[in-house]
Amino acid sequence: MKSRYILFLLCLCSFPLQTYSQNRTSILKNVAIQHLDLSFELYDRLQKTIWRNAELGFLEVKSSELLQQHLKENGFKIESGVAGIPTAFVATYGSGGPVIGILAEFDALPGLSQDTVSFRKPLVEGGGGHGCGHNVFGIGSMAGAIAIKHWLAQTRCQGTIKLFGTPAEEGGGGKVYMAREGVFNNVDVMLDWHPGTNNFVNVGSGTAVLMVDYTFKGIAAHAANNPEKGRSALDAVEAMDFMVNMMREHVLPSTRIHYVIQDGGEAPNVVPTSAKVSYYIRSPRRDVLRSIAEWVDQAAEGAAKGTQTQVKKEIICGFYEKLDNRALSKIVQKNLEIVGGVIYDAREQHFAEEIAKVSGQDPTNICQVKEVLPLVEETLSTWSGSTDVGDVSWNVPTTTFRTSVFVPGTSLHSWQNVAVCGTTIGTKALLNAAKVFSLTAIDLYSNPKLIQNIRNEFEKKRGKNFKYTPLLGDRAPALDYRVARK
Ligand SMILES: [Zn+2]
Ligand SMILES: [Zn+2]
């Protein structure tokens, strides 16, 4: 009882940030960290369960259920099926402010099924796999939220922790619909992480992205007997792609445009009556992206006109670029440095070396996983990928960090990554992430002034007249986007 009272007083004292840097050992003695240190087997088992299930975007029924069930057993209140998405959920513990949110992803990628071995060996031929490590992502975020709950319960500090279960990051954009429906409203600060090859705070903006399908309709005819009666939908797709490829010379080098032809007709002797091309258009700035996307639309319309076909456009998804928050990033960096990197045992070291070799990487670079990289200056784009965390970051101040789940030099969305994140290496890295969440939340609950600084910076960067308008417009969640492409 006495120790509880002392902790309660400490909580109310709002001691300054620099106090924490003085004694790493005492910082790591709190109940949240102790919970994580004692729970390796539990979180190892849970992350491997999601890893084995490997469910695709919006189809993550078992993975979402596992997370919700475990959070419920730990005293969280669960709202299921939020924003019209069956696998999206919000888990809440505590009361009053500050309200701190944590993002959790758990969707897999198609075609990447892989065993935990250093050669290509699918577990399920043609099945999905966690090539982006969202199995450890989801469990790491959940472990962090539960650890923070233990701290809130023990200290009786006022505050709320919310775990957001956000489906279909890989192209489905679960978070965008959740942002559009106001699910993140009233959250003061959002914490996010992602499995990576190194340990660092990710301050890059990434790119805003718009994913658009263009479907052309033509007229069928015998391609040899009556070609004059046919109008080829595939011709329209080819004409559009040609025009877009000419555009590349006249857009900023940071632009990325890529496409696949989803449907190109059935047989060469039938003039294709239907053809579909899917585009991803990216730019580090969404205003630039919008203007390029309009140009691509014009190419589609021009192609339809020139081939006497009809075109229909459907926006599948769209993400904002990320808005960094320096004040929050500095706190996360401090805590990442306290937690440190990932330490392999001999068996993990050997496996990582095998994965490095088969990936054409230098195994001596593996030592990087033990280090934490310094916080770099904020940049418009240090990488060209996109994430639906971008939309969250324009609604709530958000910082993302990475821990070393994958072997340095390997690429995201590879079978090598699936293999590694299904082992204890993934578990060690997710527990580090959960510790960073815990220490950061404790900082914020203990010193609400930090939150005020974070919010001030956020409002200043967004600008007074900012109004959130999702790039995907008012479309309903594309719940079958993975089913349709199977
Ligand atoms: Zn990914
Ligand atoms: Zn990912």
Nearest CA to 432 out of 64, 188, 139, 53 is that of 139
Convert the pLDDT of each residue in 197-229 to its tens digit. Answer: 999 999 989 999 999 999 999 999 999 999 999
Q: Which ligand does the CA of 402 lie closest to?
A: 2
Q: Band of the pLDDT at 8, cuts 50, 70, 90?
A: very low
Convert the pLDDT of each residue in 450-471 to its tens digit. Answer: 999 999 999 999 999 999 999 9
Instruction: Find the 170 Cα to ligand 1 centroid distance in Å.
Output: 6
Say yes or no to pLDDT of 13 above 60.
no
Q: Which ligand does the CA of 103 lie closest to?
A: 2
Instruction: Find the 180 Cα to ligand 1 centroid distance in Å.
Output: 22
Instruction: Find the 137 Cα to ligand 2 centroid distance in Å.
Output: 8
Instruction: Find the 109 Cα to ligand 1 centroid distance in Å.
Output: 8
Contact 104, 91 (CB under 8 A): no
Say yes or no to pLDDT of 99 above 50.
yes
pLDDT, residue 385, reads: 86
Q: Which ligand does the CA of 400 lie closest to?
A: 2
To 5 degrees, how large is the angle CA 280–CA 285–CA 288? Answer: 75
pLDDT, residue 379, reads: 72
Average pLDDT of the residues in 43-72:
98
Q: Band of the pLDDT at 22, cuts 50, 70, 90?
A: low
Convert the pLDDT of each residue in 290-326 to its tens digit. Answer: 999 999 999 999 999 999 999 999 999 999 999 999 9
Interatomic CA distance for residues 374 and 376, integer angstroms: 6
Average pLDDT of the residues in 137-142:
98
Say yes or no to pLDDT of 2 above 90.
no
Contact 100, 162 (CB under 8 A): yes
Neighbours of ion ligand 1 (CB under 5 A): 132
Q: Which ligand does the CA of 413 lie closest to?
A: 1
By residue count, the chain amounts to: 486
Q: Which ligand does the CA of 194 lie closest to?
A: 2
Interatomic CA distance for residues 264 and 132, integer angstroms: 30
Instruction: Find the 217 Cα to ligand 1 centroid distance in Å.
Output: 33
- Percent of the chain, pLDDT > 70? 93
Interatomic CA distance for residues 452 and 441, integer angstroms: 14
| Residue 163: φ, ψ to 5° | -105, 120
Q: Band of the pLDDT at 32, cuts 50, 70, 90?
A: very high
Say yes or no to pLDDT of 484 above 70.
no
pLDDT, residue 245, reads: 98
pLDDT, residue 233, reads: 98
pLDDT, residue 485, reads: 47
- Percent of the chain, pLDDT > 90? 90
Instruction: Find the 81 Cα to ligand 1 centroid distance in Å.
Output: 23
pTM: 0.92
Instruction: Find the 156 Cα to ligand 1 centroid distance in Å.
Output: 38
Convert the pLDDT of each residue in 323-364 to its tens digit. Answer: 999 999 999 999 999 999 999 999 999 999 999 999 999 999
Average pLDDT of the residues in 145-173:
96
Instruction: Find the 393 Cα to ligand 1 centroid distance in Å.
Output: 18
Instruction: Find the 197 Cα to ligand 2 centroid distance in Å.
Output: 12
Q: Band of the pLDDT at 14, cuts 50, 70, 90?
A: very low
Q: What is the mean pLDDT of the chain?
A: 93
Q: Which ligand does the CA of 105 lie closest to?
A: 2
Average pLDDT of the residues in 282-287:
94
Q: Which ligand does the CA of 166 lie closest to?
A: 2
Instruction: Find the 65 Cα to ligand 1 centroid distance in Å.
Output: 21
Nearest CA to 218 out of 310, 148, 137 is that of 310
Q: Which ligand does the CA of 104 lie closest to?
A: 2
Instruction: Find the 253 Cα to ligand 1 centroid distance in Å.
Output: 23
Q: Give yes or no for a cis peptide into 98 (omega within 30° of 0).
A: yes
Say yes or no to pLDDT of 382 above 60.
no
Instruction: Find the 385 Cα to ligand 2 centroid distance in Å.
Output: 10
Instruction: Find the 131 Cα to ligand 1 centroid distance in Å.
Output: 7
Q: Which ligand does the CA of 110 lie closest to?
A: 1
Relative orientation angle of helices 2-13 and 424-446, to the nearest 10 degrees: 70
Instruction: Find the 413 Cα to ligand 2 centroid distance in Å.
Output: 8
